[in-house]
Structure 1
Amino acid sequence: MIVALLNQKGGVGKTTLALHLAGEWARKGKRVTLIDADPQGSALDWSEQRAREGLPRLFGVIGLARDTLHLEAPELARDADHVVIDGPPRVAGLMRSALLAANVVLVPAQPSPFDGWASGEMLKLIAEARIFRPQIIARFVLNRCAARTIIARETAEALAEHDPPVLAARIGQRVVFADAAQSGRLVFDIDETSPAAREITALAEEIGSLVR
């Protein structure tokens, strides 16, 4: 399975979700490769920090911020159970290549009426990719949700009838994600029984159910 996390809006948590999904699948014994397709290289930076901290390598991280991604990702997938693509913001060629590479496209969005879930350009790119690969599965995923807020509920309700639809699993606004990122860790490394860890597990399981 090749999963791409894409949104033209920056700051929605693509890298955090990509790293944690890769880590969750690796913890379950899967062979995982993460492709850092963002020219900023945040996932590569995280991987280097993890090595400096002397933490075990859970999965490989490869920098491939180029528009031949749709040709190279399937080759990498031959030696992995899952490939996770951390996509770029606002780089149309790279975005299109990542869309054509993926089986599952996740569009992270924060619960706000002004956030990326309303991006007509992102939806247009998904529609274009489906002309060539109609089997692409696309879903929104609500990220950085404050607990029990009206806006989170309203955003979920608005996306319930949307195409692409929104996943049931959602990720909370939790300081532990930022703490983990700075030290090359994942929330599982800090506390595998935490609410954050349980949310990531639920998200990974729901994504896996899409392609069974």
Structure 2
Amino acid sequence: MIVALLNQKGGVGKTTLALHLAGQWASEGRRVCLIDADPQGSALDWSEQRNREGLPRLFGIVGLARDTLHREAPDLARHADHVVIDGSPRVAGLMRSALLAADLVLIPVQPSPLDGWASAEMLALLAEARIYRPDLAARFVLNRCAVRTVIARETAEALADHDPPVLRTAVGQRVVFADAARSGRLVSEVDNGSPAAREIAALADEVARIALGRVTR
């Protein structure tokens, strides 16, 4: 299973979600590889920080910020249960390659009209990829949101009948994500019983059920 987190807009939390999905699946005993396809290399930086802190490696991280990703990712997938791609914003060639590599695309958005408008280019690239990959599945995921706010509810309702639809699990705006990242940790390692850790576990479960169930579109 290859899951790509993509959005043309930066700052929506792709890397945070990618790392935490990979970490959650690894904690459940699955073989996981994360592909850092962002030239900024934030996931690789997180891994280096983790090494400096003397923490054990949870999953493999490979830097592949090039537009041959769709040809290279399947080789990595043969040796892993899950491959997670942390995509690059604003680089159309890398985005297209990641779309062609993926079984499921997750599009992180924040509950804001600006994020909805910024997703238009991403959806155009998705439609283009579906010419070659008609069964390519995709979902929006609400991230960095105060779940009980009016705007979060309105965003979820607006996306409910959208193509692609929105995942049921939303991930809140929580300081623990930034605190954990600074030391190369995941929120489950900081506090496994926290709301953030529970949201990530629920998100990983929902995504795995969609991808492994081969739910399309």
Aligned equivalents of 1:28 and 1:65: distance in 2? 28
How much does 1:121 deviate? 1.1
Task: Give yes or no for contact 1:117–1:140 (8 Å, CA) kept in 2.
Answer: no
Q: Tell me the CA shift for residue 134 of structure 1.
A: 1.0
The residue that corresponds to 1:90 in the other structure is 90
Counterpart contact for 1:109–1:117, Cα < 8 Å: no
**Which amino acid in 1 is paired with 2:91?**
V
Instruction: Give the TM-score, by structure 2 length.
Output: 0.96
Q: Structure 1, residues 98-125: CA drift from partner, whole Å, max 9, x if none?
A: 0000000000000001115652211010
Indicate if the aligned counterparts of 1:107 and 1:117 stay in contact, CA closer than 8 A: no
Question: 2:166 maps to which residue?
Answer: 166
- 2:25 — aligned with what? 25
In structure 2, relative to structure 1, the CA distance for the partners of 1:39 and 1:26 (3 Å cut) is same
Residues 55-80 of structure 1, C-alpha deviations (whole Å, 9 max, x = no match): 11000110000000000000000000
Paired residue for 1:189?
189
User: Paired residue for 1:137?
Assistant: 137
Question: How many residues are aligned here?
Answer: 212
Alignment of 1:5-44 (within 5 A): 5-44=5-44
CA spacing shift, 1:200–1:117, aligned 2, 3 Å: farther
Cα distance per residue 1:161-184 (max 9 Å; x no partner): 100000000000000000011110
> Over residues 28-67 of structure 1, what are the superposed CA-to-partner deviations in whole Å (9 max), with x where a residue is unaligned?
0000000000000000000000011011100011000000
Correspondence for 2:53:
53
1:179 matched to which residue of 2?
Answer: 179
1:146–1:173: 8 Å Cα contact kept in structure 2? Answer: yes
- Identify the residue that residue 62 of structure 2 maps to in structure 1: 62
RMSD of the alignment, in Å? 0.8
Greater than 6 Å deviation, 4+ residue runs = none
SS at match of 1:49: helix
1:146 offset after TM fit, Å?
1.1
Aligned to 1:58, what secondary structure does the other structure show? Answer: coil
Indicate the larger mover: 141-150 or 81-90. 141-150
Report if aligned partners of 1:146, 1:152 keep a CA contact under 8 Å in 2: yes
Q: Distance in 1 between matches of 2:119 and 2:107?
A: 10
Identical-residue share of aligned pairs (%):
79
Query: In the aligned structure 2, how far is the partner of 1:119 from the partner of 1:76?
Result: 29
Cα distance in 2 for residues equivalent to 1:109 and 1:5: 11
The 1-side partners of 2:147 and 2:134 are apart by 36
Q: In structure 1, what is the Cα distance between the partners aligned to 2:201 and 2:126?
A: 26
Structure 1: gaps of 5 or more residues: none
Contact 2:5 2:108 in 1 (8 A): yes
Q: Gaps spanning 5+ residues in structure 2: where?
A: none
1:34 alignment partner, SS class: strand
Q: Decide whether the 8 Å contact of 1:39 with 1:88 is kept in 2.
A: yes
